[in-house]
Structures are given as C-alpha cells and as structure tokens.
Structure 1
Amino acid sequence: MTDKGQKTLDQAYEGLEKEAPDRVARAIRWLRDPKARWIRIPLGVLFIIASMLWFLPVVGIEMLPLGLLLIAQDVPFLRKPVGRFMIWLERKWVALRHRWQRG
C-alpha cells in the first residue's frame, strides 16, 4: 500500500511541477530530495499553520494543500489521500483555467 501511495504522491508532484512556473518547479524538485527533509517538514507545518490565517491578504487557505503535500512525503499514511486530493485539485484548476481562456 505504501508503494501505491508513493506512486500517487509522485503523480501529484509531477502534475504540480507541470503547472507551476519553472522557478517554482525547481524548488519543488529540490524539496522532494531526501536530504531536504529537515527543511520540508518545518516548511509543511508552517504552511499548514499559515493556512489558518486565511483572512490575511498574503497567506490563505491555498497553503493547506501545499503543507500537506510537503508533510505527506515523509508520513506514509498521508501519501495516498493527499496525492489523490492534489491530483483532483490540479484537474479542477486546469479545467477552470481552460474555461477562463475560452472566455
């Protein structure tokens, strides 16, 4: 089950990297490196806490999925549900972006 969860999480990361600007995609790839664990976990917790301050103009609820995604890299039981949620979220984002472009 862990292997399938990791595959789902990898697929979510790939979709995010594809949709993100190049500079952000490079940062995501760097954060996925096993050596970046000591940065990834506190950053994920910080993003989750920041999402609770959704009413402020700089941070918002969009920080929650990013924080969960970062933490799921190191917490096996979160990999599959977070990966599936991120894949779903990316599909919705792509559909919304296409709808805006068609105008």
Structure 2
Amino acid sequence: MAREIRLAGRRIRLPDDHRLRIGLGLGLIGGGILGFLPVLGFWMIPLGVLVLSQDVPAVRRLRRRVQVWWERRRRRG
C-alpha cells in the first residue's frame, strides 16, 4: 500500500517502509531546527511532523487536534 499525504491540494508519495518514513520525518524536523542556515528552512518542521504522523500515534493525535482547531477557526471567520 502506497502511503501519501495531501498538502495544499497535492498528493505527496511517501516510502512504503515505516523506518524510512520515520527517518525522513526526523530528518526534516532536524533540518528545520537549523532553519537559519541557507537552503534549510523552518518550513521543514511542520512537514516532518506531517510525515511522522503516518506512523507515530502521539504525533497523529497532535496533528488531528491542530486540524480540527484550524477547521473550526476557518469556519468562524
């Protein structure tokens, strides 16, 4: 089964192996922490969290809470 995330109306395919997905997510977060350097950016942190949410239940719950909060906020305004 191919894993993918949907972001801004686009589908981004992820590796099938959960170890690669976790490594990719941690790498994105680690690179995002160094966002003050050229090429790397703070945009990598939320993307890494999104990738990690595929395999880590605690991160999945956090992502879902933020998603529900965002939808409620968007509907109000």
The TM-score normalised by the length of structure 1 is 0.53
Q: Counterpart of 2:42? A: 61
One-letter code aligned to 1:51: G
Distance 1:48 1:86, change over 3 A: farther
Aligned length: 68
Q: Counterpart of 1:81? A: 62
Instruction: Give unpaired runs (5+ residues) of structure 2.
Output: none
The TM-score normalised by the length of structure 2 is 0.67
CA shift digits 1:58-85 (9 cap, x unpaired) = 1111100111111111111221222343
RMSD: 2.8
Specify which structure has the bigger relative contact order, considering alpha-carbon pairs within 8 angstroms and separated by 6 or more residues.
Answer: 1
2:26 matches 1:45: yes
1:67 and 1:41 map into 2 onto residues whose CA distance is 9
Instruction: Give unpaired runs (5+ residues) of structure 1.
Output: 1-9, 93-103
Aligned identity (percent) is: 40
The structure that is strand-richer by fraction is: 2
